[in-house]
Structure formats: structure tokens, C-alpha cells
């Protein structure tokens, strides 16, 4: 096994331990062998990975203002860690998906909130903000940042002060 393989396996292992779904682990680690990944899942969690369809976007994880605040908080942590680790703040025009930042954010979130956020929700939040499938906007009333998507009631208002966001 060469170093690149070893690094890929380490990434996959860490992502699986954090609970990320197998197809997402496969794409982030570059390991196509789903059987190997499912084996890791079994070894770490003692049961089989979650079957079923992946959600289309982070909006699937937002059912109320509380979950909207949770994903907004995750994106906020991610942005800060990404800037600290990667580049100077002025160079970051927009965020991109970065595995080590995702894992650190997941850990920091759990420390700050006292419990982890489902890393799959965190993954989709980062991906969708990075691809501009949803917007990460600032509330005109209270200044808090949140994920804006006009399709749902809980993503079209600021989850903190409930002010409607007008695009």
C-alpha cells in the first residue's frame, strides 16, 4: 500500500466514524470499493450502514427554526475554521468542501452545542452553500447569518428573529 492509499483509507475511516453516509465517504475519500467501506462501517459502528436514498439538499434537514439555527451554526464554524487553516480571510471569496475542515467543524460543533449535528446535514449545508444551491445570507434585522432557500417557510425567514429575507 502506498502513502496515497493510506491517506485515503484514513480519510474514509474518520468520515465513517463521524457517521457520514457511504456514498459521500466514497466520493470524498476517492475509494470506490463500497464493500471495503461497508466493512469499515461494520467494524466501527457494529451494525450495517444506513440504507436508502440520499437527500437532494440540506433543506431536507431543516424542519423548524431550531434545525435552521443548527445548520447555520455549523456553516459559521466551518467558515471560521476554513479561514484559519487555509488562507487569509480576505482571500476567501467563497468556501469549498474540505474534508479536514468538515471533520474539525463536526468536532467543534459538538463541543459548543454539547451534542453533535448529524454530519450528513453538515456536509449538505457546506456543499449547498459552496455550490450556491442555497445562499448563506445575513439578516437585515439582527445581522445573524443563515441558510436561505425560498422553498420552505423555515429557510425563507431568519431563524433567530423571524424577519423575512428579501432577495
CB of 112 to Zn ion, least distance (A): 20
CB of 160 to Zn ion, least distance (A): 5
Nearer Cβ to Zn ion (100/141): 141
CB of 134 to Zn ion, least distance (A): 17
CB of 120 to Zn ion, least distance (A): 26
Nearer Cβ to Zn ion (33/163): 163
Nearer Cβ to Zn ion (102/139): 139
Nearer Cβ to Zn ion (13/160): 160
Q: Are 122 and 109 in contact (CB under 8 A)?
A: yes
- Residues 18 and 104: their CA atoms lie apart, in Å, by 11
Site residues for Zn ion per CB under 5 A:
139, 141-142, 144, 158, 160-161, 163
User: Which of 17, 6, 9 has the alpha carbon at shortest distance from 42?
Assistant: 17
Amino acid at each position: 500500500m502506498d502513502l496515497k492509499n493510506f491517506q485515503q483509507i484514513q480519510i474514509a475511516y474518520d468520515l465513517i466514524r463521524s457517521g457520514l453516509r457511504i456514498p459521500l465517504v466514497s466520493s470524498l475519500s476517492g475509494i470506490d470499493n463500497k464493500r471495503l467501506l461497508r466493512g469499515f462501517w461494520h467494524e466501527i459502528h457494529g451494525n450495517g450502514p444506513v440504507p436508502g436514498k440520499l437527500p437532494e439538499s440540506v433543506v431536507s434537514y431543516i424542519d423548524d427554526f431550531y434545525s435552521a439555527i443548527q445548520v447555520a451554526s455549523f456553516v459559521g464554524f466551518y467558515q471560521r475554521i476554513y479561514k484559519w487553516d487555509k488562507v487569509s480571510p480576505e482571500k476567501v471569496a467563497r468556501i469549498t468542501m474540505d474534508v479536514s475542515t468538515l471533520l474539525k467543524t463536526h468536532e467543534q460543533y459538538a463541543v459548543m452545542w454539547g451534542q453533535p449535528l448529524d454530519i450528513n446535514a453538515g456536509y449538505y449545508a457546506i456543499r449547498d452553500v459552496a455550490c450556491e444551491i442555497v445562499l448563506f445570507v445575513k439578516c437585515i434585522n439582527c445581522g445573524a447569518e443563515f441558510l436561505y432557500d425560498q422553498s420552505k417557510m423555515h429557510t425563507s425567514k431568519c431563524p433567530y428573529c423571524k424577519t423575512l429575507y428579501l432577495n
